[in-house]
Amino acid sequence: MFTGIITDIGRVASLKVEGDMHARITTAYDTAKIDIGASIASDGVCLTVVDLGPDWYAVDISAETLSKTNIGGWKAGSRVNLERALRVGDELGGHIVSGHVDGVAKVISVEGEGDSTRVSFRVPQDLARFIAPKGSVALNGTSLTVNEVEGDVFGIILISHTKEVTNWGDVATGDLINLEIDTLARYVARLAEVG
């Protein structure tokens, strides 16, 4: 489990495809304190550490994960939002995030608003019903508040701090973004179906 509070921006150092994709990601985390088998959310995708070096970790990414996320668009040098798995006693500053991406949202506009930035997304129709104004979503692993929703389009506001400590400072129209809907929204929708 994660919180959607990004604690490092890693960089894709290398990618190799041999059946699954193998990625090496550089990090400022103390890798001596990371175990093989640990989970690290990388752009919001819960990935298992399979190898470690002094300033990097490596992961294997299945074809299934590649089909549901934006990881297929990674290249050497790509900046990646990182978050270590939640430990008992950690502060829950965002919302509960599983790292299980539901789909990909497309950035349809990016507009400055003072020091902040308003970003609008189009989501797959089957996920749109889970997104509500003032609700939470995880986008590229970042816990964000939904400002407005109209059909399959929703918007968020990025404050300067978020743009500085995540890869959101690089966002552009047309980008594909990993989307994880709020777990609570998923269960409320399921209860409404059965009830």
* Sign of the C-alpha dihedral computed for residues 88, 26, 11 and 176 taken in this order: negative
Asked if residue 94 is part of any domain, the answer here is no
114 and 75 within one domain: no
176 and 129 within one domain: yes
Residue pair 5/46 in contact by the 8 Å Cβ criterion:
no
The token pair that represents 10 in the structure block:
């890693």
Number of domains in the chain: 2
Q: Show which of 51, 84, 117 is a domain's final residue.
A: 84
The token pair that represents 193 in the structure block:
């179906």
122 and 45 within one domain: no
111 and 185 within one domain: yes
pLDDT value at position 195?
64
Tokens 């400002």 -> residue:
147
What's the pLDDT band for 74 if we cut at 50, 70, 90?
A: very high
CA-based nearest residue to 161, from 6, 43, 10, 25 = 6
What's the pLDDT band for 78 if we cut at 50, 70, 90?
A: very high
Query: What's the whole-number mean pLDDT along residues 138-164?
Result: 97
Query: What's the whole-number mean pLDDT along residues 87-111?
Result: 86
158 and 120 within one domain: yes
Q: Show which of 84, 117, 139 is a domain's final residue.
A: 84
- Whether the per-residue pLDDT at 92 is higher than 90: the answer is no
- Whether the per-residue pLDDT at 172 is higher than 70: the answer is yes
Tell me the average pLDDT of the chain.
93
Does the global pTM surpass 0.85? yes
* φ and ψ of 39, to 5 deg: -100, 130
CA–CA separation, 40 vs 27, rounded Å? 11
177 and 109 within one domain: yes
pLDDT value at position 186?
72
pLDDT value at position 89?
67
pLDDT value at position 95?
79
Q: What is residue 94's DSSP assignment?
A: S
Half-sphere CA count of 96, side-chain side, radius 13 A = 5
pLDDT value at position 49?
98
111: domain CATH number is 2.40.30.20
Q: Residue 118: which domain range?
A: 103-194
The token pair that represents 88 in the structure block:
């008992």
Half-sphere CA count of 103, side-chain side, radius 13 A = 14
- Whether the per-residue pLDDT at 91 is higher than 80: the answer is no
Asked if residue 16 is part of any domain, the answer here is yes
Query: What's the whole-number mean pLDDT along residues 89-98?
Result: 76
74 and 35 within one domain: yes
Asked if residue 31 is part of any domain, the answer here is yes
